[in-house]
A and B are shown apart, each in its own frame.
Chain A
């Protein structure tokens, strides 16, 4: 039996003296489709930065495939938030995806094989026709596919996505989740989302992040989760069966 994909044990993290995460523990199994939900400022992005090794926990231990996040970084495909990236940058779609092949063989330069790999991923995501377009000429949904392609080009075992659907309309979200479901056949997926649609038909587990983490091994949303974990208004699009309607928390705007 191999080590679990991700083990988080008693992890705490504070920023400028403010506790962001406290005593967080959970385990993610192979091929899981895990959704991190929770209010803004609840620590979702911090948690994935810890998993990526971009931040170090104050205490506790994180293991990815039985090793440290830094050593496992090459096995994770990361899709950052769209807003975090300079949109007006003069870069083509193909060049963005080629970033995923950087240091793939330990070298600074890229080979023909790298270009071929990047084009293959673009083709899988039906974006090959756009390879020479500048990234800011694309729509939000197309841009998101390019970032997913860049992560896939690293040939990862885990995909970690930070709010991939934030700038998409409902149709775009449905398409994007269909893509993720396909990817989930071969890879573990962890996704930060505000979007409850994902819970209805795609995910295998849910983690509510609000300083603490409440981990649920199925996609059920329970009363307890609402009380303790998710203290913020929920935008629910009940898309799958059965429909689940969540109440908006009263003391939040």
Chain B
């Protein structure tokens, strides 16, 4: 691994993995405790429509995807808040429509052929410097927002009705947090692909939730788990010349099953729950 660090692409991959883990730890925790995994998947797939728009109309990639995903995310949020019982159907439709628009627009774009595989699994080993800066900026915004609004985030996730009665602007904050989810997903897709985004957003927080006595601890633990999965996955991918995104997902999945087995073997509340 050490000799691999002499390559710039490897250092960039490690940086990208580090910041992706940080964003996923914080935002993924919000997604998992609010049961928004499906919405996250919807945003990630709808982002493909943004890629189509970006290439067809010749606007910068980040403008196309970010714009399209944010609009899709806000529409989905409005539906979740207005008609919770039908939200899953609606998200499913937007999910498919976004991908379809993306594929059709790419068909219609002359002379260009985006590789669907790189979109699905990303290319963490080919992260350009400019994307690293996007990730640094975004993780700063995410972490600062999460720290500043921690109590509000906790309150609206745990008991939104009570938070509303205390005068917390619940719906406004909900839009804000889901907006952050959309921005995070778009930036991270570029690096690790949409399948890995969903895996990184859900698996580490899911494992962390069982061992955490607070939302903050869950965020910290998920970030650490995500970093470990990234590091181990990258090393395996480098060592055995495998696709990095898929390797990281498999490592995360192994972590997931190991935690399930540990839960089964160890007594409940074994770690950290009681302090």
Contact = CB atoms under 8 A, between A and B. Distances in A.
B213 to A, nearest CB: 5
Nearest to A114: B151
A54 B164 contact: yes
Interface in A123-149: 132-134, 137
Nearest to A93: B213
B168 A134 contact: no
A91 B158 contact: yes
A179 interface: no
Contacts of A78: 162, 165
B155 interface: yes
B274 A90 contact: no
Most B CB contacts (10 A, CB to CB) among A78, A108, A132, A150 go to A108
B163 A99 contact: yes
B103 interface: no
Contacts of B215: 90-91, 95
Interface string B130-166: 0000000000000000001101101101110111111
B214 A92 contact: yes
A112 interface: no
B154 A95 contact: yes
Interface residues of A, number: 33
Interface residues of B, number: 29
A133 B213 contact: yes
B158 A96 contact: yes
Contact of B214 (A80, A90, A108, A150): A90
A35 interface: no
Given A86-B158, A137-B273, A103 B214 contact: no
Contacts of B166: 73-74, 99-100, 102-104, 154
A85 interface: yes
Interface of B: 33, 148-149, 151-152, 154-155, 157-159, 161-168, 209, 212-215, 217-218, 269, 273-275
23 contacts: A73-B165, A73-B166, A84-B161, A89-B157, A90-B212, A90-B214, A91-B154, A92-B214, A95-B215, A96-B158, A98-B151, A99-B151, A99-B166, A102-B151, A102-B168, A103-B166, A103-B168, A104-B166, A108-B152, A109-B148, A110-B151, A134-B213, A137-B269
